[in-house]
Structure 1
Amino acid sequence: MKIKFLLPLFFVPFLLKAQLKSLPTDNRLATELDKIVQKETSDYMKDPSRAGLSVGIFKDGKSYFYNYGTAEIGKSTLPTSKSVYEIASITKTFTGTLLAHALLDGKIKLDDDIRKYIDGNYPNLEFEKHPIKIADLASNSSGLPQFLPDQSETFKKPMDSIAIALSDFYKNYSRKKFYEDLHQVKIDFIPGTKFKYSNVGTQIAGDILEKVYHKSYADLLAEYITKPMQMNKTIIGTDSAKLLTGYNEKGKPMPRNITTLFAPAGGIQSTTEDMVKYIQYHMDKNNKYVQRSHSSGEKNKGDKSGLFWKTHTSDDGNQAIWHTGGTFGFSSVLMIYPSKNMGVILLSNESDAESQGKLYGIADRIIINSSKK
C-alpha cells in the first residue's frame, strides 16, 4: 500500500520560488496569474533542449510579460518583451487581416478566380473546371502545395541539414521563378473541399493584395496594422542584429528566415510587446476589418477557419482564434479568446517536432485556468 503525502497549501509558494533558482526568469510570482504562467511553462523549460521563451498576455485590458531561459545559449542573458523573434506562420493572420481590408474595400471578392489577378495562362489551377478561389487560399483548401518547387527530396535529408539546404536554395529564388514553377502544379481535388496547408497559397494571396492596392506587402502591413498600433519592432524579416539566434533541439544555431519573397506566408519578426498590442487590436469588436478576418463567411462549412485564422467554438459558445508558427529555429503560438477578453502569445527561439504542440497546450491552459480565477 502506497502512502501519499500531501503538501500543505502554505508550502506551494516556497516550491515555486525554489523553481526560480534553477529556471532563469523575471516572473515575480506575486499574483495568481504569475503562478499560473510559472506552473504551465516550467515543465516545458526544464527540457534541456530549450533556449528562451517570452510570454505576453493581454487580459481584461492589461498587459503582462514573462521571460524564461536565455536569449543566447551559453550566456545568462534573459530575453525580454522587446526581444525579436521570428513569428513564422503567425504572419498568415496579418495577411488575413489585410485580406479583410481588401474585401471590405471592394478590391476583391472571395469567389474570385485567383487567375484573375495572376499574369499568364494557368489552366492547371483548377480541378474538373472548378477554379481556385480567393476563399480557398484563405482557408488552406486550394490544393496548392506547401512549397514551390516541390521540396519532398530535401525533407528526406538529415534534420540538421534540411534548414541549411532550404536556406541556401531560397536565397536566389525569385518571384519570376515562383510563377514559372506554379505552371507545374497539379490540383488533385475540387478546391474548397479539403484542407491542405499551403505556404504557396498564402504567398499568392499576398501578391494579390499588392496588385489590387498597387503597394508592397510591407507598405500595406505598416499602413493598416503596425503603424496604427505602434508595433514598431514588427517588420518583414531582415538579417538584423536584433533578431535572436534560433536553435534546433540539439542547440545548433539555425539559419535565419530572411527572404522577403515569402513575407506574406511567414516572414514577419516581432516581440511579445508588439504582439500583445496585436492581441488587443484583434479584440476590438467595433473594428469591421478585424471582425471580418475572424470569419470565412461560409456558415455551411462550420466556420472552422477565418481568413487564414484557425478558429474553434467550444461547447459553451466561446470562440478561440489562433495560429502557430515554426521555422527551423523558432516556435510560436498566438491564441485569443475574444469572449474571455484574453489572449496569449508565446515566442521561443528553439524549434523541434514537439515545440509548437506543447506551446499550444501552454497557451490554452493559461487562458482556461486564468478564466477560473
Structure 2
Amino acid sequence: MKRILLLVAGYILTSCNTQKVDQAYTGKNIRDSLHTEISSIYRQGIFNGFAVAIVDGQSALYQEGFGFSDVKNKKAYTDHTLQNIASVSKTFVGIALLKAQELGKLHLDDPVQKYLPFKMVNPNFPQAKITIRQLATHTSSITDNEFYLSKTYYLKPDQNLEGVKLNFDEEQVFNPSDSIISMKAFLENVLAENGKWNKNSFSLHQPGNIYEYSNVGTTLAAFIIEQATGQSFSDFTQKYILKPLKMNDSGWKFEDISFSEFSSLYEDPKTLLPYYHSITYPDGGLITNINDLGKYLTELIKGYNGKGTILAPESYKEYFKPQLNAENFTERNEQNPYSESYNSGMFIGYGYTGYIGHTGGDPGVMSILFFDPKNNLGRIMIFNTNFSDKKGNDAFYGIWNVLEKYQSKLRK
C-alpha cells in the first residue's frame, strides 16, 4: 500500500508540474495574441501612445503600454508613463466624500450652503436646497457655463511653447500661468449669487430632479470636502486614497509626481498640446499611470464585494448604490454600455447593462475605466491623443473589445 501510494503521489506531482508548464505556455500565448491584436490597431496611426489594463478583485491580469509618450524623441509609452486621466478622476471625489462622511466631517444629505463662504442658490428655485448628494449624482441643477470652458485650463509654467497649439477648440483655451486663481475664487465667481461669471450657471430644473452632468458641481463637492476637513482636496485624497492603495506614482499636481515620466499630449497624431493644469482639478486632473490605476480599479471591485480596504463596507454600499430612476433623465443612453450616464452612484456611473465606472476626455486625453459586477473583471485604457471621428471611435472601442475578448482567458 505504501508503495502504491508513493507511486500515485509521484504521478500526481508529475501531472501537476506538467499542467503548470502548459498553463504558463498558454498564458504566454494569450498575452502574445492580445498584444498582437492591440498592436495591429495601434499601427493604424490614430493614437500616439496609450496604456491598457485588465484587472480582477486581486490584481492586474495584464497591463501594457503602446506607442510613444513623446513622438519627437521616440520615447516609449509604458505602463509607468504618467498623464492626467480626465473625468475618471471624478470617481475619486465620490470615494473622498464617503471617507469624509465616515470621519464625521459631513453628511451626504447636508445642504451645500452649510459649508460655503458665499451664498449660492438656483435663481429659478431660490427656496430649494442643494445637497451634497445632488452634487454627487449630477442632479444639483449646477451647469457648466462658458466661463468653465474659458477659465479652467492654465499653462504649466516654464515650458517650451514652440510649435505647440495654445487652444484646444474655440471655447477651451490655455490661459497664462500667471493669471491662475484659486478654486474658491473660481467657484465664487461662477456660483455666488452676485458672482461676476454667474451666467447660465444653473438649469431650469429644480435641484434633485434631473440628471445634468456637471464639472462645476464636481469641483464644488471637492471644495466642500476641503471646507469640512480643513485639508486641501489633494492632501485629503493622498492620505486616504492614494497612499493606502500604494498609488505611489500618482498625484494632482506636477510637483507631486515624477515629471520626467509625464507624457506629451496631442490633439491629433501630429498636433502637440502644451502641458496644462486646471483650477477645477478634482473634476479631471488626477495624474497617474496604468499601473497605479489598476490598483485603484482592483480596490473598487473589492469594495463592491464588501472587501475593500479604504472605505467601510457600508460606505462602499452607499458609493455604489444606484441613486436615480427613469424620471431623473430627460434622455437616457441605452445604446452604449460604456456610457456612465444611465444611472449614478456617488460620482460613479452605471451603463445600461450594469457595467460600473467612468469615461473621460480632456485636451490630449481619452480615458475609460469600467468593471463588470457579474464577473468582477475590469478594464482600463488611457490615451495621450484625442480623436473625434468614426475611425478613431472604432479604433478606441476596437481595443476595448480586444481586452474583453481576452479577459476571461487571462484569469484561467
Which residue identity is paired with 1:114?
Answer: V
Q: Aligned residues, how many?
A: 335
2:63 is the counterpart of 1:55: no
Kept in 2, the 8 Å contact 1:95–1:206? The answer is yes
Equivalent residue number for residue 187 of structure 2: 178
Aligned to 1:166: 173
- The Cα offsets for residues 168-217 of structure 1, whole Å up to 9 and x where unpaired, read as 16752333243123132333111232222211001000001111111111
Question: Does the aligned pair in 2 maintain the 1:148–1:200 contact within 8 Å?
Answer: no
Verify: 1:99 aligned to 2:97, yes or no.
Answer: yes
Counterpart of 2:407, as a letter, is S
Identity %: 25
Alpha carbons of 1:124 and 1:299: their partners in 2 closer, same or farther (altered >3 Å)?
closer
The alpha-carbon deviation at position 140 of structure 1 amounts to 1.7
Q: Which residue is equivalent to 1:190?
A: 206
- Equivalent-residue separation in structure 1 for 2:174 and 2:214 (angstroms): 18
Give 1:166 deviation, angstroms: 2.2
One-letter amino acid of the structure 2 residue matched with residue 266 of structure 1: G
Decide whether the 8 Å contact of 2:37 with 2:402 is kept in 1. Answer: no
Is the alpha carbon distance of 1:357 and 1:105 closer, same or farther for their aligned partners in structure 2, counting shifts above 3 Å? farther
Shift of 1:360: 5.2
Residue aligning to 1:8: none
Larger Rg: 2
Q: Give the equivalent residue in structure 1 for 2:346.
A: 307
SS in 2 for 1:258: strand
Take 2:251 and 2:325, find their aligned partners in 1: how far apart are those partners? 34
> Contact 1:36 / 1:370 at 8 angstroms: preserved in 2?
no
Query: Bigger shift: 51-60 or 99-108?
Result: 99-108
Selected match of 2:67 from 56, 62, 69: 69
Equivalent residue number for residue 296 of structure 2: 278
SS in 2 for 1:112: coil
Aligned: 1:214 with 2:230 = yes
Q: Which moved more, 1:83-92 or 1:363-372?
A: 363-372
Q: Distance in 1 between matches of 2:35 and 2:123?
A: 46
* Selected match of 2:359 from 303, 320, 324: 324
Residue 344 of structure 1 aligns to a residue in which SS? Answer: strand
Q: Any residues of structure 2 matched to 1:347-362 within 5 Å, and which?
A: 347-354=382-389, 359=396, 362=399
Q: Give the superposition deviation at 1:300.
A: 8.3
Contact 1:84 1:244 in 2 (8 A): yes
Q: Following superposition, which runs of at least 4 residues in structure 1 exceed 6 angstroms of deviation?
A: 299-303
* Matches for 1:237-256 after TM superposition, within 5 Å: 237-238=253-254, 240-256=259-275
Counterpart residue type for residue 119 of structure 1: P
Asked whether the 8 Å contact 1:313–1:320 carries over to 2, the reply is yes
Q: Any residues of structure 2 matched to 1:24-43 within 5 Å, and which? A: 30-36=28-34, 38-39=36-37, 42-43=40-41
Structure 2 length-normalised TM: 0.72
For 1:30 and 1:58, the matched residues in 2 are separated by 17
Residues 82, 263 of structure 2: 8 Å contact kept = yes
TM-score by length of 1: 0.79
The reply to whether residue 342 of structure 1 matches residue 342 of structure 2 is no
The one-letter code matched in structure 1 to 2:189 is E
Report if the CA contact (8 A) 2:273-2:364 is conserved.
yes
Deviation string 1:328-354 (CA, Å, 9 cap, x unpaired) is 112111112243222121111111225
1-structure distance, mates of 2:367, 2:70: 17
**What is the deviation of 1:256?**
2.1
* Distance in 2 between residues matched to 1:41 and 1:129, nearest whole Å: 56
Secondary structure of the structure 2 residue equivalent to 1:42: helix
Out of 46, 58, 69, the residue aligned to residue 43 of structure 2 is: 46
What are the Cα deviations for residues 223-260 of structure 1, in whole angstroms up to 9, with x where unaligned? Answer: 1111111101110132733311001115211122323x
Q: What code does the residue aligned with 2:209 have?
A: T
CA–CA distance in structure 2, aligned partners of residues 196 and 147 of structure 1? 12
CA distance in 2, matches of 1:122, 1:246: 36
Q: CA deviation at 1:147?
A: 4.8
Residue 245 of structure 2 is matched in structure 1 by 229
Task: Point out where structure 2 has 5 or more consecutive residues left out of the alignment.
Answer: 1-25, 153-164, 193-197, 329-341
> What's the C-alpha RMSD, in Å, of the aligned pairs?
3.1
Change (3 A) 1:47 1:237: farther
> Which residue number in structure 2 is paired with residue 292 of structure 1?
318
Shift of 1:263: 2.1
Distance in 2 (CA, whole Å) between partners of 1:104 and 1:83 is: 33
In structure 2, what is the equivalent of residue 4 of structure 1?
none
CA distance in 1, matches of 2:202, 2:372: 38
Q: Which among 106, 109, 132 is matched to residue 130 of structure 2? A: 132
Q: Distance in 1 between matches of 2:393 and 2:181?
A: 28
Asked if the contact 1:29/1:35 (under 8 Å) is kept, the reply is: no
**Is 1:333–1:346's contact at 8 Å kept on the other side of the alignment?**
yes
